[in-house]
Amino acid sequence: MLAERLPSFDRASTVVITPPRGGLPVAREIALAFSLPFDVVLVRRVAVPGREDVALGVVSDGRELRLSFTRDSIERLGLDAERRAALTHRTLSELGRRYKTYVADHPPVRVTGKTAVVVDDGAVTGATLRAVLHVLREQAVRRVVLALPIAPAHVLAEFERLVDDIVCLDTPFHFDGVGVHYAAFDPVSDLDVRLILAEMHGRADLGEEPATLPRALRR
């Protein structure tokens, strides 16, 4: 349904991008519908247990590590440096694991000078997607189209100045999270991610991945 709302794209100059894991099935359908190349950008929210509505910060690799904290979240939660460091370390460990599992065995799809269709299964705070956009801007994309099935209106409003176009199917007034607005919201496993990436990159090998990590993710 989301693909039907999107304009047509030039395959030679457009790439579908998504942060794993939840957005992959949605992004896959769009990539297949338009016969577009497909890739992931690894980013992960530094989340506070029990406060999934708050993004303390975001870690992204963009194949190079980037760490940013949200000052208002830090002040609101009153987290000291030791607690922030512990949460960040846990996030870095998971990002490193995902790098080895998902992308260590293939080079990133080039996005420089191209249109990036950034897709996710929805947005709550928008922190993850903002990190994806930052990575893409650093790689000098020409244009960004944000495509989402669902997001609160105030989050979309924040993205209006960050992207060139937004397509969102639903902006409910009462937003209680992404999953409750899906008829079925099954979790996306590591194997699901590997299978989708293998399909989209034409890989048949799902054996052991190389263990080489970006230097900043080596722990």
Residue 196 domain flag: yes
Domain count, the chain: 1
In a domain, 214, yes or no: no
What are the pLDDT digits (tens) for 81-132?
787 778 878 878 888 888 888 887 777 889 999 999 999 988 877 888 888 8
Which residue(s) pair with 170 in the sheet? Answer: 150
Q: Which of 215, 10, 198 is nearest to 105 (CA)?
A: 198
Q: Which region, left, alpha or beta, applies to residue 147 given φ > 0 means left and ψ of -120 to 50 means alpha? A: beta
- CB of 17 closer than 8 Å to CB of 118: yes
pTM confidence score: 0.76
Asked if residue 206 is part of any domain, the answer here is: no
The answer as to whether 22 is a domain residue is yes
Assigned domain for 37 exists: yes
What single-letter DSSP state applies at residue 188?
A: P
Residue 142, pLDDT above cutoff 80: yes
E-strand stretches of the chain = 14-18, 38-40, 43-48, 51-60, 66-69, 115-119, 143-150, 165-170
In a domain, 213, yes or no: no
CB-CB contact of 111 with 37 (8 Å): no
Question: How far apart are alpha carbons 63 and 59 in whole angstroms?
Answer: 11
In a domain, 54, yes or no: yes
Residue 93 covered by a domain: yes
What are the pLDDT digits (tens) for 181-198?
Answer: 555 667 888 888 888 888
55-69, 165-179, 200-214, range with greatest mean pLDDT:
165-179
Structure tokens at 3: 């693909």
The amino acid that residue 107 corresponds to is: P
Task: Give the domain CATH number at 165.
Answer: 3.40.50.2020
Domain limits for position 27: 2-200
